[in-house]
Amino acid sequence: MLRLYDSRLSGNAWKVRILLTQLGIPFERVTLDLAKGETADPAFRAKSRFARVPVLEFEDGRTIVESAAIMLFLAEGSALLPDDRYLRAEVTSWLTFEQADLLRALALPRFYHMRGIADQMASRIADCFPSIGAWLQRVKAQPGWVPLVEEV
């Protein structure tokens, strides 16, 4: 069975978890505590060259790191990654945009909310991503969506 090294609040690992769920791929989840520095553990570093989650591990011990690479691997053969070369480039284009440009605008407001300082950072949040609420609702309506933190 595939194993996903994850952490409770990692948005990058969350994307992979959503895709695994959406594709119906069974996986074992290993949750690391980033606050305790568990990514620095030598056994984990041997699996993750950048000492970060997510990491997808195969039964033979090989691993894939970087959420975009993991998602491209998992989506192979599914409707989410068509054979057409142009459409595949479109998929890569969106994955690259997400990592290079979108991620910060999503992560900062989330961080402010988690720290309980969203009210005082309201204008900063508005600067980051004015349409974030409506967009998040559309994402949430996708099949296979799972919450980042289950108990919330």
Q: E-strand spans in the chain?
A: 2-7, 27-32, 55-57, 63-65
Cβ(110)–Cβ(124) under 8 Å?
no
Give the x/- contact pattern for ligand GSH in 99-128, rule: CB under 6 A: x-----------------------------
Give the x/- contact pattern for ligand GSH in 37-56, rule: CB under 6 A: --x------------xxx--
| Cα 143 to chain centroid, rounded | 16
| Torsion angles phi and psi, residue 17, rounded to 5 | -65, -40
12 binds ligand GSH (CB under 6 A): yes
Q: Which residues pair with 28 in a beta bridge?
A: 3
Q: Exactly one of 2, 23, 30, 34 binds ligand GSH (CB under 6 A); which one?
A: 34
7 vs 20 by CB, closer to ligand GSH: 7
By residue count, the chain amounts to: 152
Judged by CB under 6 A, the stretch of 4-12, 76-84, 120-128, 129-137 that binds ligand GSH is: 4-12
Query: How far is residue 74's CA from residue 100's CA, in Å, rounded to a whole number?
Result: 21
Binding footprint of ligand GSH on the chain (CB under 6 A): 7, 10-12, 34, 39, 52-54, 66-67, 99
